Each structure stands twice: as structure tokens, then as C-alpha cells.
């Protein structure tokens, strides 16, 4: 069996060891390209969320990505408020997570996840909240990236919710390192069999960095045999560049794995 080379985009944190092991079990190599880096907002902003969580008697809290979860709890640990925050969320809030990766990040931080939409997208969140809405619970907290669009908030407001969103972090392009250089070399040689995009921002950052590094590289992305999108928002960004792709039905790394090895 010929070894396959698979590239995957990432921001902060590590790609699951289980996912890497499963890829390697198929005589494949996974190259993890750090396309973006997380910049936390001022802790004072997140402190305001913690105070709201303490003061509200009930509400919804929506986490839209593992990055939002990780930044939120990193600041909670830094401020020595994590036990308080976990207790208040679990005892007073209905927690909604978009996708398995976000749910798993919350569980690791001892948060009880009450709901996850069937469609792990903004539309899925809107559909879920329209069914959950009742007169006793009408307020929503959303810790999110400064790059997030206003579509979700607009639709939730139209449903009659009071929405409080807090931009707790920003996402910026990562520096070109030795992994990037290897990625460019393999791209030129046509040796990358699959490229996995894990977020909308990572679509933009990979394309921008590739274009800036050398003008001959970007057209080569279209020649990769299989481009994979982890979910609808990522797919939306790929469509802007007219890049052919296959979207994971499960909207998770497990869903990506199934496309790579279980549908053949």
C-alpha cells in the first residue's frame, strides 16, 4: 500500500492523538499546519461574562467552537474563578454546543452539555433555540471570536431572545515555520493526497499565507485529490474561492476520518 500524505489546518491546541493514530494506522502521514493563532481579549471583558453568570438566575450559553471554550476557561483558571464558573453554568444555564469537538472541550472542563443541534451550524443553532424557547428563559450569552459574523445574533434577536455576545478572542495568521515550508514543498511536488480544513478562518489564512509566500502555490491547491471541510461554515468559505470539497456529515474529525477511510 502506498503511503498517503494528509495535511490538516489548525489553530491553537493539538489535533487529537486518537485521530492521528487512526490516520497512521492506514499507512498515512498527517501533516499539521498551524494556520492561525489565538489572541485573547482583555481579561476584564471575560470577567464581565463571569459576573453575569453569577448574577443571572437562568439563561442559555452557546459555545460555537473549541477555541471559544478553551479561551473562556483559560481566563477562568488565570483569574482563579473556574470552580465558581463551572458551578454557576451547570446549576443555572442551559448549555448549547455546536458540534462534537466543542461539546468534548466543554466536557473536559466539567461542563454539562444540555443540547447540540443536529446540524452543527448557525442554522442548526437557530432551529434548536426556536424549539427550546420559553417565556421563563429568554436570555443568551455567547462567548465568541471577534471574527464571528452577526447572522446568528440577528436571527436569535428575531426569535425574541435577549442576546449578549462577548468577543473574547481574535484569530490571526500564524508565522510560517518549518512545517509550512514542508507543506509548500510537498504541494509543489503534487504529493499531498488530502487537505483538511477545520474552520472558516483557517481556510482564509491558509490561502492568504500560500499566496503571499509564492504566487505559483495557490493554483496547486486545486490539484489536491481530496479537499475536506469539517462543517457548513468552513464549506461556505471554500465556496468563495471555488475550491471543490467534500463536507463531513458528522462535522467532526471522526466524520473526516469516515470520508477518508470508511467510504471507499
Residue where a domain stops, chosen among 125, 151, 171: 171
Residue 156 belongs to domain with CATH number: 3.40.50.10090
Same domain, 234 and 249: yes
pLDDT-wise least confident of 47-56, 111-120, 195-204, 249-258? 249-258
Same domain, 47 and 144: yes
More confident site: 157 or 13: 157
171 pLDDT above the threshold of 60 = yes
Same domain, 180 and 167: no
CB neighbourhood size of 181 (10 A)? 11
The pLDDT tens digits of the residues spanning 51-68 come to 999 999 999 999 998 889
Residue where a domain stops, chosen among 141, 171, 201: 171
Same domain, 44 and 127: yes
Same domain, 163 and 64: yes
Handedness of CA 196, 200, 206, 211 (dihedral sign): positive
* pLDDT for 263: 63
262 phi and psi angles, rounded to 5 deg: -105, -10
Same domain, 31 and 51: no
53 phi and psi angles, rounded to 5 deg: -60, -35
* pLDDT for 55: 95
How far does Cα 197 stand from its chain's mean position?
10
Same domain, 184 and 244: yes
15 pLDDT above the threshold of 90 = no
| Closest-CA residue to 52 (of 185, 142, 179, 155) | 142
* pLDDT for 199: 86
Domain enclosing residue 26, as ranges = 4-35+174-261
Domain count within the chain: 2
* pLDDT for 182: 97
Same domain, 92 and 27: no
| Closest-CA residue to 48 (of 171, 169, 164, 170) | 164
Same domain, 161 and 199: no
Same domain, 161 and 203: no
How far is residue 60's CA from residue 68's CA, in Å, rounded to a whole number? 15
The C-alpha cell 432551529 sits at 127
Same domain, 119 and 182: no
Same domain, 54 and 161: yes
Residue where a domain stops, chosen among 143, 171, 199: 171
Amino acid at each position: 500500500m502506498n503511503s498517503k500524505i494528509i495535511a490538516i489546518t489548525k489553530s491553537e491546541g493539538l489535533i487529537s492523538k486518537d485521530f492521528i493514530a487512526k490516520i497512521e494506522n492506514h499507512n498515512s502521514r498527517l501533516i499539521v499546519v498551524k494556520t492561525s493563532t489565538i489572541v485573547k481579549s482583555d481579561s476584564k471583558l471575560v470577567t464581565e461574562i463571569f459576573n453575569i453568570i453569577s448574577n443571572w438566575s437562568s439563561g442559555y450559553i452557546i459555545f460555537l467552537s473549541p477555541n471559544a471554550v478553551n479561551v473562556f476557561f483559560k481566563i477562568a483558571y488565570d483569574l482563579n474563578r473556574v470552580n465558581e464558573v463551572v458551578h454557576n453554568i451547570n446549576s443555572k444555564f442551559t448549555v448549547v454546543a455546536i458540534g462534537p469537538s466543542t461539546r468534548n472541550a466543554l466536557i473536559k472542563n466539567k461542563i454539562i452539555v444540555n443540547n447540540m443541534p443536529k446540524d452543527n451550524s448557525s442554522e442548526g443553532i437557530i432551529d434548536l433555540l426556536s424549539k427550546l424557547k420559553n417565556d421563563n428563559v429568554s436570555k443568551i450569552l455567547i462567548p465568541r471570536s471577534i471574527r464571528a459574523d452577526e447572522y446568528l445574533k440577528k436571527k436569535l434577536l428575531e426569535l425574541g431572545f435577549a442576546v449578549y455576545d462577548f468577543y473574547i478572542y481574535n484569530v490571526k495568521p500564524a508565522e510560517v515555520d518549518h512545517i509550512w515550508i514542508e507543506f509548500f514543498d510537498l504541494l509543489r511536488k503534487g504529493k499531498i493526497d488530502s487537505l483538511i480544513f477545520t474552520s472558516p478562518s483557517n481556510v482564509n489564512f491558509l490561502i492568504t499565507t500560500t499566496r503571499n509566500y509564492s504566487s505559483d502555490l495557490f493554483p496547486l491547491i486545486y490539484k489536491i485529490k481530496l479537499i475536506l471541510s469539517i462543517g457548513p461554515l468552513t464549506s461556505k468559505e471554500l465556496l468563495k474561492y471555488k475550491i471543490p470539497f467534500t463536507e463531513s456529515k458528522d462535522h467532526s474529525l471522526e466524520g473526516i476520518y469516515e470520508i477518508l477511510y470508511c467510504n471507499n
